[in-house]
Amino acid sequence: MRITIHPAGRYILMLGLFLYILVCLTIVFAFYHSDIYLLVLGGFGCIYLPFLFYFFRNPERKVVLNNKIVYAPADGKIVILEDAYEPELLKEKCIKVSIFMSMLNVHVNRYPVSGVVKYTKYHAGRYYVAYYPKASEYNEHQSTAIETREGKLILVKQIAGIIARRIVCYANPGNEAVQGEDLGFIKFGSRVDLYLPLDTIVTVKKGEKVKGNSTIIGYIH
C-alpha cells in the first residue's frame, strides 16, 4: 500500500521543519559548549518530526465504485449510532453515524458515495471534545450533502474537536463527488458524522473501529 503526505499537511510539515532547524541553529550558537541541550533537542526532533509525518499520512485505498454501498468516510471509532432528526438541510429523521478520530487515526476524509455535491456550508462554533453528543451542533463544522444518481441525499459533517482548529473541505456545490476520493481533512483530532436515509441497511455497530474506504457502513435500500 502506497502512503503519501496529504496536501493539507505539506505546509505545516515545511513550517515545522523550518522552525526545528531554526531552533537547532539558535541553540548550537548560543549553547555550543553544552551537550545536554543538543541531546534534548535531538530527542525532541526524533519524536516531533516523525509525528507530523505520521499524522498527515495519506494511505492509498482504492474502492470498487458501487452506489448501493456507503463506505466509512474516515478512520476511527463509532461513538454514535442512532435515529436522529437532522435540522440543517434534510429536516427529517435519519440514521446518524458518528466516527471519532483520535490523534493516531488517519485524518483524511473521503466521499462515502458517488453523486453530485448539492450543498456545502461552514459553521463557526466552539471546540468541545469531539465525541460529546452535541458536538455536531455546537462545535465548528463543515456540512456537505451528496445526492446520488438514485436521488438519495447523504449528509457528511466534518466536526472540529478540542484540539482540531482547522477543517479542510474540497467540496463545492455542483462538483462531482466520486466515492473514495478526498472530501477533505481535519487537523488534530476530530469527528465525522454521517446522516443516512432511514431505510439504509446498517452493517456496523456502536464501538466498532472503522477504516475509511475499507469498512462498509451500510447498504442503501
Question: Which residues are the active-site residues?
Answer: 190
For the packed helices 7-30 and 35-55, what is the interaxial angle rounded to 10 degrees? 180
Beta bridge partners of 155: 145, 195
Kindly give the pairing relationship between strand 176-177 and strand 190-196: unpaired
Phi, psi (deg, nearest 5) at residue 178:
-110, 120
Q: Enter the C-alpha cell of residue 9.
A: 499537511
Q: In the sheet that 201-202 helps form, which strands lie side by side, from edge to edge?
A: 69-71, 216-219, 201-202
Would you mind telling me the total number of residues written for the chain in this entry?
A: 221
- Interatomic CA distance for residues 61 and 49, integer angstroms: 25
Question: Which helix (H) or strand (E) is 33 found in, with range?
Answer: none
Query: Do 62 and 2 contact (CB within 8 A), yes or no?
Result: no
DSSP label at residue 105? S
